[in-house]
Amino acid sequence: MKTDFLVLGSGLAGLRFALKVSDHGSVTVVTKGKIQEATTARAQGGIAAVLDPKDSFEGHIQDTLNAGEGLCHEEVVRQVIRDAPAQIKDLMQLGVQFSKDAAGHLALAKEGGHGMARVAHAQDATGAEIERALVQSCRQHPNIKIFEDHMAVDLITNRHLESKQRSPKPRCYGAYVLDIKTQEIKTFQAKITLLATGGAGKVYLYTSNPDSASGDGMALAYRAGCTLTNMEFVQFHPTCLYHPEAKNFLISEALRGEGGILKLLTGEPFIKRYDPRGDLATRDIVARAIDSELKKSGNPYVWLDISHKPSHFIKERFPNIYQTCLKYGIDITTSPIPVVPAAHYFCGGVATNQQGRTTLENLSACGEVAHTGLHGANRLASNSLLEAAAYACYAAQDAIQKLKESHESPNIPDWDPKGATDSNEEVVLSQNWEEIRTFMWNYVGIVRSNKRLERAQNRIKLLLDEIHEYYWNFKINKNLLELRNLSLVAHLIIQSALWRKESRGLHYNIDTPHSDPAYQKDTLAIGRP
């Protein structure tokens, strides 16, 4: 299958890119599940942008730099934040319905780390509204083909070609893709490929992410020789609903922005003991504070209480959270919500420049899979959808130009299974899957130590060898691909965390609890093609 633009992923970053390039060539969108099931659809909070005359770009820039603790790339921060109002306007033109106040202006919320209310939102289901509008536009465009239930196996690079066809520079030519329903592996040949596969929250036992977030794009890029950056910086959202039946349900930071208070089970507020900003401190501080109190008390959760606010306000501002909690027997207008931290967002990822280009020719990346330099050591709330929207535009502009310079396409060989047979040992997959997620949570989670990281390193080395052997012996399926990717991402997180002999932002090591100027630089993991 040949296409001008191949997009791997169907969240905000992938679909926005697809729409931007669709008038300039053929576009193929490959998504592991159904198109609307991307992580974007779960985003509750909103998009941060300077939209209030009393606000300023410099204020948003400084809040972002402060959260990033010395690792933000300032030129990227300034570029993205100055473009933010235009991104909101562009999304509205696509049909995104943001919430408005009584005067008809965009309603702006305040979240942790922000000095002003500057978060545009669609009640408490912003991501779902953005995804709805983008999916509708993509389905209507004649140049966009969508392949649901398809998953990339590997990127096609020079190593897949005969020597006489290889380009002088390492180059991406598309991807081998598994049709999950038929188990057939197809060849998707493309002039430009975009990674927009999201994050890797599933590498941890507890996460706010959907099951699809298994680090696929990060692993694909590393195996193709790309550089990955700052993989140790994993953001744990402080407040996920604690309930045995409520899988992965996030309680938006906007709830604290509207006056929600974190309390111990005794009813005592506690966050100000850790930071004078209290409940609106940045996510790394709040998550560590909750983790510390849970370890001290032995309790499984803390309370998040907004019941002191008027009932009608809570129901109108947070209809999704209200209805979901009510389904589990919790009326948030009268009772506090039991919450725990969970893995939420990767600040590291595939290294890109300011046009979204990776270190592999004709391969771009944007969204959570990418490291652009915007977030540094800790992402400021509601800057993620902003980054995805902005970099989809930058990458699209660059891709349109590169398409004009594209070379003649080589002959791509079909996928070679190399004698693989059907597996009769699926239990190996489930066993290794659970083991990785458990030791990553216990040893490489919110609080780390040298000893814990070394234990994790020893375990992942053994598992990588075992999974590698299994991969080449048996026929590929979705579970095997996800385990292969997830184990590699776990390895990169551990190696990056071991290298950083300090505590900064989301990386907190009790053996080196302070930041060190010698480590005020990005961690690089150079891919091995």
Q: Catalogue the active-site residues.
A: 283
CA atoms of 383 and 103, how far apart (whole Å):
26
User: Residue 403 half-sphere exposure, CB side, CA atoms within 13 Å?
Assistant: 21
Largest alpha-carbon pair distance within the chain? 72
* String of DSSP letters for 447-479: SB-HHHHHHHHHHHHHHHHHHHHHHHHB---HH
At residue 100, what are phi and psi to the nearest 5 degrees?
-125, 155
- Per the CB < 8 A criterion, the answer to whether 6 and 214 are in contact is no
CA atoms of 447 and 509, how far apart (whole Å):
6
* Residue closest to 273 by CA, chosen among 294, 293, 300: 293
* String of DSSP letters for 93-153: HTT----B-TTSSBPEE--TT-SS--EE-STT-HHHHHHHHHHHHHHH-TTEEEE-SEEEE
* Residue closest to 40 by CA, chosen among 386, 321, 431, 282: 386
∠ at Cα 346 (342, 352), nearest 5°? 175
DSSP state of 525: E
End-to-end CA distance of the chain: 24
Burial class (CB in 10 A: 0-12, 13-18, 19+), 106: middle
At residue 469, what are phi and psi to the nearest 5 degrees?
-65, -45
Residues 6+ apart with CB under 8 A from 494: 444, 453, 456, 457, 460
* Cross-sheet strand order for the sheet of 349-351: 370-371, 349-351, 227-229, 524-526
* Residue closest to 73 by CA, chosen among 385, 347, 447: 347
Residues 6+ apart with CB under 8 A from 12: 38, 40, 127, 130, 131, 134, 367, 385, 388, 389, 392
